[in-house]
Amino acid sequence: MVKLLFLGDIIGRSGREAVQKHLPGLRSSLGLDFVVANGENAAGGFGITDKIAAELYAAGVDCITTGNHVWDQRELILTIDRDPKLLRPLNFPKGTPGKGVGVYRLKNGANIVVANLMTRLFMDPLDDPFAALETLLGQHRLGGTNAAILIDLHGEATSEKMALGHLSDGRASLIVGSHSHVPTADAQIFPGGTGYQTDAGMCGDYDSVIGMKKEPAIARFVRKMPGERLTPAEGEGTMCGIYAEIGADGLCTRIHPVRAGGRLIPALPA
């Protein structure tokens, strides 16, 4: 059995502190084999830096995925190729720095494949994520040395993420959405054995507007004018994610939401 944890978008200092506070204990108590976190909002709500990535690795994160904010901290353009554990969306155009899929060795000697895809509805017009997914699952198959395949679907539209999830059924271990910063209540195992949740939620302060301070965000909606720059809320954060257990065939046998700390109702696997 392989035990996985995926953490949703980490928002600013509050989100980082929530991960640093709760992940080490959870990693120990659940006996986690691998932890993936979406870190594209970890640096002040916009992008991620090498320094912050190192802090997350030290807290127990094994691999970091991103999304549409991946290049907000421009330094990453020059450094991402030096960090094999930091992924950008796979369906960026050919020649974009970094990579969208990584193969990592578990303690038992088997591999886990982690991929990062970005959807297109209400998002940047990247290359076709459905075609990228088919290519990915053709190149990396469950079984043999691949004990698990985990895919982060970073996108706005729930329908598009669901369609990609069903397309992966039976060929991936765990498909989890990110980007909306709000955890959905549809954690399930598809008929073919793939674990799925439309969005894992965020790691950050939920007394906010999707992780940002309330007043400037509300003002933008009310006045329909540019205003104060959005900055992350600074209250106690909730660490949100998805826990999954993967069987010997690489398919999901158990999936459970994770919520720890902050304002949301706690949810932890027994």
How confident is the model over 67-106, as pLDDT tens digits?
999 999 999 999 999 999 999 999 999 999 999 999 999 9
Whole-number pLDDT of residue 74 = 95
Per cent of the chain over pLDDT 90 is 96
Q: How many CB atoms lie within 10 A of CB 100?
A: 21
* Candidates 22, 69, 154, 181; catalytic one: 69
> Using only C-alpha atoms, what is the Rg of the chain?
17
69 flagged as catalytic: yes
Beta carbons of 36 and 65 less than 8 angstroms apart = yes
CATH number belonging to domain 2-260: 3.60.21.10
The CA-based angle 60-22-106, given to 5 degrees, is 30
Whole-number pLDDT of residue 227 = 76
Point out the residues of the chain with pLDDT beneath 70: none
Nearest to 164 by CA among 65, 249, 250, 90: 90
Please give the sequence-ordered ranges of beta strands (E in DSSP) within 164-247, or none if there are none. 174-178, 188-189, 195-197, 202-203, 239-246
Whole-number pLDDT of residue 270 = 87
Whole-number pLDDT of residue 2 = 97
